[in-house]
Amino acid sequence: MRGFPGLVLAVRFCTELALLAGLAVAGARLGGNVLLDVLAAVLWPALAAVIWTFVIAPRAKRRAPEPTRFILEVALFGVAALGLIAAGLPAAGIALGAAGIAVAVAVRVWAKEG
């Protein structure tokens, strides 16, 4: 895609990466001990990536219909935001949640194929 829809999709990709990073940071800070920190830092973003790949991504074989995809996207960003807030990073959590949800809406308004 070109133009503004392409820009929206590029920003979406950046928010997807931020989602995974946010989940990794939250997992690492909320694990409780070193082993759980490492496991949570790896498994939380891995679970989100699996959900995104199989249900939300444009090329998913079993892509969920709207509004299910939107609800899942909002839920993933909400969980990451709450995780960052619980980990003592409220500004990062609020920023990630707000950006992710705003971009999810923008994709559905301006880049409908994404």
Residue 17 domain boundaries: 3-110
Residues sharing a CB contact under 8 Å with residue 22, sequence separation 6 or more, in sequence order: 80, 81, 83, 84, 92, 93, 96
Q: What pLDDT score was predicted for residue 112?
A: 78
> CA-CA distance, 106 to 79, in Å (whole number)?
20
Mean pLDDT per 10-residue section of the chain, whose length is 114 residues: 91 97 97 92 97 94 94 98 98 98 96 72
Q: What pTM, to 2 d.p., does this model score?
A: 0.93
Query: CB burial class (10 A; 0-12, 13-18, 19+) of residue 100?
Result: buried
Total count of domains within the chain: 1
